[in-house]
Amino acid sequence: MARSTKAAAVPIGRAAQPKTAASDARVRVTAERLNTPSDLSPEASREIAEGLTVLLSDFLALYLKTKNFHWHVSGPHFRDYHLLLDEQASQILAATDDVAERARKIGGTTLRSLGQAAQKARIVDNNADYVDPLDMLAELRDDNKATTSRMRELHDLCDEHNDVATASLIEEWIDQAEERTWFLYEASRRGGADGH
């Protein structure tokens, strides 16, 4: 019988520590230090910051998936696809800092680890040894399209709370995702793929 060699992830020095009044006070002080003043309600800040954190997780997952396909694409259109995916990955990565900083500007917090990002991301990984280039493009097309739809939902939440600044940023990210979807759709039509 095979035994798992994977150790449980337990923070060093934390497992045996009971909650105390002092630890509760440290948490409150830390939370207060990260509580950037905002004219948004605490509920609005919390909900929008959480939405931005999930979006950031999606962007990081989409970035890595795009780079995965960039690194592993092959075939007669290698150069075109390789360059397209690199450009798209760079655009996605460039948006991540703005997403995270917006969450902080409104008094929220954001990602602290890859593990947290993996728990929140809605983009499905593709760890296949080989993916046909047209399938890569189609999969990324669908991921970008789904991300656009999710950003529209977050935009609606911002509208509910009159957070025009976050809504404005989301509009730019939607435009970028729509352009990525368009380029991937057109590129995936090569070779007879239907692109739908």
pLDDT of 27: 43
- Cβ(154)–Cβ(170) under 8 Å? yes
Instruction: Please tell me whether residue 138 adopts helix, strand or coil conformation.
Output: helix
Query: What are the structural domains of the chain?
Result: 37-191 (1.20.1260.10)
pLDDT of 16: 45
pLDDT of 36: 74
Sequential pLDDT tens for the chain (196 residues): 444 444 444 343 444 445 666 655 544 445 565 667 677 999 999 999 999 999 999 999 999 999 999 999 999 999 999 999 999 999 999 999 999 999 999 999 999 999 999 999 999 999 999 999 999 999 999 999 999 999 999 999 999 999 999 999 999 999 999 999 999 999 998 554 444 4
160's enclosing H/E stretch is helix 133-160
pLDDT of 31: 53
Please state the separation of Cα 73 from the chain's center in Å: 22
What global pTM score does this model have? 0.81
Question: Residue 8 to residues 11, 15, 16, 116, 117: CA-CA distances in angstroms?
Answer: 9, 11, 15, 16, 19
pLDDT of 39: 73
